[in-house]
């Protein structure tokens, strides 16, 4: 059994705790897996515990800020018939840009977000973009 590194009194138990995240006046309740102390109620999180939480919080912040979520970006890119590399070359940001956007490692520029929203509604306009589909 692991001893709590925060209080030194309790033992850590592997479980999921409800947490609340606040951002820009909005709040999100989510389930956070980790090792939790029954005495001080602090948690110790492993890398795997944080990965899904980080994706969830990224999408929450994106929605609050008026950006597309990772899944929305992926859906629109696929609807347009573009690979991640093609989308990066066409909209800018480089061949790895959409990989970073769709994984939550980076947020796209507002102009890219706006263009994707426009193309989601009017996909035929894709061919109006200079250079057409990137190879």
Q: Where are the domains of the chain?
A: 9-65, 70-128
CATH 3.20.20.140 fits 9-65, yes or no: no
- Confidence (pLDDT) at 130: 85
Beta partners for 3?
Answer: 11
Beta strands in the chain (DSSP E): 2-3, 11-23, 26-37, 43-44
Query: By C-alpha distance, which of 58, 67, 99, 83 is closest to 135?
Result: 83
41-74 pLDDT, tens digit each: 999 999 899 998 999 999 999 999 999 999 999 9
User: Which CATH number applies to 70-128: 1.10.10.10, 1.10.260.40, 3.40.30.10, 3.90.1150.10?
Assistant: 1.10.260.40
Same CATH topology for 9-65 and 70-128: the answer is no
Average per-residue pLDDT for the chain: 93
* Banded pLDDT at 99 (limits 50, 70, 90): very high
Does the pTM surpass 0.85? The reply is no
- Confidence (pLDDT) at 134: 45
């Amino acid at each position: 059994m692991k001893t709590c590194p925060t209080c030194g009194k309790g033992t850590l138990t592997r479980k999921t705790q409800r947490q609340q995240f606040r951002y820009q006046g909005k709040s999100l309740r989510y389930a956070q897996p980790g090792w939790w102390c029954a005495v001080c109620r602090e948690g110790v999180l492993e890398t795997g515990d944080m990965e899904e939480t980080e994706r969830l919080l990224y999408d929450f912040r994106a929605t609050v800020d008026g950006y597309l979520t990772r899944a929305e970006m992926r859906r629109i890119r696929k609807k347009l018939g573009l690979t991640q590399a093609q989308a990066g070359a066409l909209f800018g940001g480089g061949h790895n840009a959409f990989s970073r956007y769709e994984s939550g490692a980076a947020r796209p520029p507002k102009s890219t977000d706006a263009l994707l929203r426009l193309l989601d509604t009017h996909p035929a306009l894709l061919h109006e973009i200079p250079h057409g589909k990137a190879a």
